Amino acid sequence: MATDDLAAVLESLRPAPGSGGLADMDAQRCARALGVDGVAVSVTPGNGLNELLWATPGASTRLEDLQFTLGQGPGPEVALSGAAVVVPDLAAEPAARWPVLLPEVLALGIGAVFCLPLRLGEVCLGTMTLQRARPGPLAQTPMSDARIVTHALTAALVKDEQSWDAFAAAQDSSHFYRAAVHQATGMVSAQANVSVAEALIRLRAYAFQQGRSLLEVAEDVVARRVHFRDDDADEPGPAPGGGTEGP
């Protein structure tokens, strides 16, 4: 039953005594409990990048990767505004809202998205994005349950004042899924002599031009297979010296 799944999800997110605040979540069970096809949870330490914590495989994971690569979509909007973004029919959404993302998401077979903030006061710590193939609004009960889950997720992330600070300070640690992007952004900033924000824009643009994910391009930068020169007229290319140059 959905109620049993919801209770199990909430219990799994209950911060354990002595834990670092980052609890585990069964994403597929959460999706069942909320009556959707997929769910993803990302945190936003506040540097223009987010970190995927949990996601159901398939469309939800791909949606998060697309938003991360393109920098547009419900997740980035929620992270910026702190307000929920509810789109019950993506096919009816004006193309100008997410001009690059929208056709990609529709091609994934996603018909509706419901993105909720993980809020601590006025601060948005992250997002929980629900997606469903069938268009249409989310009923009142599952939407209320989804908000309950976001409160539990927030509590799990910030069990005490130190837990979120510790996570934010360690955001570029190697065990995080997107650690390579954090590292590559710094490398591109140094290579092209631009700000970190501009470096991220260049990484995203190059990934989109190549039809690849931002993570894949970042891994090439970190491995010195791709180098961003400091000449705006130049496209990124193979690293000089057979990929052995410094950052």
> CB within 8 A of 219, min separation 6: which ones?
180, 184
CA nearest neighbour of 93 among 80, 83, 84, 106: 106
Among 8-22, 97-111, 116-130, 188-202, whose mean pLDDT is lowest? 8-22
pLDDT score, position 64 = 92
Residues 190-203, mean pLDDT to the nearest whole number = 84
CA angle 81, 132, 53 (to 5 degrees): 55
Prediction pTM value:
0.73
Domain boundaries, given as residue ranges, for the chain: 2-169, 179-243
Query: What is the C-alpha to C-alpha distance for residues 2 and 54, in angstroms, rounded to an integer?
Result: 19
Q: Which of 79, 69, 5, 47 is nearest to 210 (CA)?
A: 69
Q: Which residue has the higher pLDDT, 175 or 128?
A: 128
% of the chain residues with pLDDT over 90 = 39
What's the token pair of residue 97?
């809202």
Does domain 2-169 bear CATH number 3.30.230.10? no
pLDDT confidence of residue 233? 36
| pLDDT on residue 23 | 55
Spatial CB neighbours of 19, under 8 Å, sequence gap ≥ 6:
159
**Chain segment 133-153, per-residue pLDDT in tens:** 999 999 999 999 999 999 988
**123: pLDDT confidence band, cut at 50, 70 and 90?**
confident
**How high is the pLDDT of residue 21?**
47
Nearest to 116, CA basis, from 129, 131, 105? 129
E-strand ranges in the chain read 38-43, 51-55, 85-87, 112-120, 123-132
Is the four-CA dihedral 165, 169, 172, 176 of positive or negative sign?
negative
Residue 86 confidence (pLDDT): 97
For domain 179-243, the question of CATH label 2.60.40 is answered with no
Question: 73 or 154: whose pLDDT is higher?
Answer: 73
Output the pLDDT for position 45.
66
Residue 232 confidence class, pLDDT cut points 50, 70, 90 = very low
Contact 119, 125 (CB under 8 A): yes
